[in-house]
Structure 1
């Protein structure tokens, strides 16, 4: 085993997680994820290494968990006696960075809570089973001849071979749906590798166009996503399906217990009309077959299996449009209240860092009723209290577009995205009000070590001008549209830990694209203060001229 595999062994043995270890050693969970997958390995003299070792040697562990690690270490370092000794600390350090696992695979224990069975016990049990089988009568030829064979019901289907066959079956399926004189309900699920979908770019584009036509024609689609731990696969799910959710005709779910199966299945069902069924062995694209059924009995059985599986799944994506801002506000409050790192990418500062006085002033201009304003203000005060409390132990990293920031500081007023105040339209404030917000951000940067602001430029981050992004560690992702052109904002929330982890890694890579001069805290504070001083001077000059 290499470092990543050994770290994975430690995390599993002690029933820990990426976020727990990251919190203990003060790194991003995405970095722990990269270590585990082998995408990155710390140097043996890295300051992270002794912290990792101390975490596992000082964790509140059960005796069999400690024994599991000691068994591995003693196979290479027999002199070790105590779990928490200096010898154990050095042994773990040496073990983590040996190029070959001297302990051998037999010293890797089963998952926590599962008791290992020795080879001798296994053979003893096999011997017992062998004795039992000796007492069973062997079926005689006469007994075989007494078996009655009865034919089952006859059905019909079309069969398609390999990836090209699967693509053709899917297009035939969608064509049948489009030809239906009435709206249909589609039920989709696939555990298979997406090579059949994305492997042919022309097919992939055509699939997307046709599926969008299906949704816009009034058909409804329910999909159960197979969300694994591969960031590339997760990002492809987001890229393919999130835009289609904006039609309002698509609902997404996921199975909360992650499994990676050797044999993977696919179900595409147009209720009461047709069903595609495929069962594919891993890496068996060229030998698998896809079956297209129109038999009512097969379709009904497929529907029953799908709907039973759906009952065990959770909603993956929630969409909030105009008219549902109250629900969106409450969901955001619940998300921010949970402990953990928070990452934010926006064109301008978020309302979470807005002073209460300024927030109240902006609410007064929205035309809300007295009760609505009271509820919004109370929620904002709750949000800021949670924000300040979380900053004591969790990082809040905010990416702000410095180009938009500089433009707004030279204008007479500033525009906030409507979602910042949970409003359908953009909200405007004076330059003086905006300066108050930036000054409050400077105070927060000086007060809280865990609060970070990174000033990016649009060419450094794709799509930053069109989408806002918020990620809660191991929990949720919020994608929302900018409404600079006057369009009503739309927000999409995905509550799934693997998707959140993928976006955490995305944020980790974004940091590397921004120069140190725009992410170092003292430098950022100076840049913000310089801008505030400049606009104050301009406002004073304008006032003097009047």
Structure 2
């Protein structure tokens, strides 16, 4: 029997509704509906556990221990590939789209999925119901739409296939190599590099000293105006250089304003070119330091729709700012793919908006305003994105210790933590790590400064667990 049949059978036995199962399991009503219809099957043991535990609770005295075991065994037996490594699969699929110029919209049409679902696979939030079939369809589309030489050049991990002979034989060999590469559970040099990236992130966090960092950037000497300076109302910018100017002008207006409202930031625009400009990067970090010195909180949505190693590298650059306790990071599971990238920056009486054709900064146009009506309209856009956002991590300094202890109590009641003070891979001098199953990971830094970071994003949780083989 299929998973949907077993699930429906036990729901009828209890009996219970889909809404009751959704509430007890913590799964969305749409997810339960897809499980019942067979459009989706659980991607991991945690989802089956959530369903079976909820059914057990709903059944109450109607199910004895033997019946509960029978139900759990049946649910598990109906789902193949539970040991499928979604972390490696999502990383490789993201790498595929990064290395080869594959049109995501056409790929989605070819494999029969919505483009937004492909983004969820890259982020690790979803896996295809049939990974083998999905990998075969992806490989087929890639081989038919991309020059074979380009594929061979981009995938040194794939077996040597230059001797395949004629073009059709070469394409078939490439297809088989890509399928094996996507589905293999053995980590390659690429996955090892992602793991090393996470280890570097943890090591940087462990060794970071906020006081030393403040001295290096001469934080005490950074000027913050005591009286506000009136700014011209509106200005527009274009292209890459325009974006650099717009970003620094926004930070300047925010610092010079009398407002103490928090700062809100979201961008899906490509940042690679800006990161390569050392002069701009210095201005950007100095501007952020001035905002934080003013005491403003910054709420930022990080872009997690990218290969994992790149995502960790981006987050690592924010460590100094995280340590202030004034940064609130988020992420979005589903970013609409409509052909355009967007940017929003909002402070008390200043707003910056921008957009470009997807991944094309040369087409970018930006608009900076201090006009009250324009700022208000941008506030509505900000609300739209942040309502979709979920906490990437929660950061607690000493002044929020009571809140953190309440979080720790709640997580401990749900899951017995696996606490790591050291491991075979790393030895931390200043940090403990507590892994609460798939729910969260708590990184506790003991000093310089003392801080607790509660990691919420599923891909980061899985990566942290993999570092310690949990």
TM-score (norm 1): 0.43
TM-score (norm 2): 0.50
> Per residue, is there more helix in 1 or in 2?
2
